[in-house]
Amino acid sequence: MESSFYYALSHEIRRKILKIIGDNEFSSFTNLKRILKVSTGTIYHHLDSLSQLIQQKKNKKYYLTDLGIHAYNSLKENIEIMESIDFSNREYGSPLIKFLFALTPIKFFSFKDKDKTYNIIISMVVLIIGTILCGLNGFFSFLLFFIKTPENIYQLSLISHLFLGVFFILNFLIYFFLVEVCCRIFYRKKDNTLNFFLSFPVILYPMVIYLFIHFILLSTELIQISVISFIDTVFLIFFQILSLWLLTYNLKVTKGLKIERGLIIALLLHYGSFTIVLFLSI
Contact present, 142 and 171 (Cβ < 8 Å): yes
Question: What percent of the chain clears pLDDT 70, i.e. is strictly above it?
Answer: 88
* Strand duo 139-142 + 145-148: pairing: antiparallel
Contact present, 23 and 35 (Cβ < 8 Å): no
**How far is Cα 183 from Cα 253, in angstroms, rounded to an integer?**
13
What are the structural domains of the chain?
Answer: 2-81 (1.10.10.10), 98-281 (no CATH)
**How far is Cα 15 from Cα 18, in angstroms, rounded to an integer?**
5
Candidates 113, 39, 91, 86; CA nearest to 257 is 86
Amino acid at 129: I
* Helical pair 193-203 and 205-219, crossing angle rounded to 10 deg: 30
pTM value?
0.70
**How far is Cα 110 from Cα 202, in angstroms, rounded to an integer?**
12
Contact present, 258 and 86 (Cβ < 8 Å): yes
Residue-wise pLDDT for 211-255, tens only, equals 999 999 999 999 999 999 999 999 999 999 999 999 999 998 888
pLDDT at residue number 82: 41
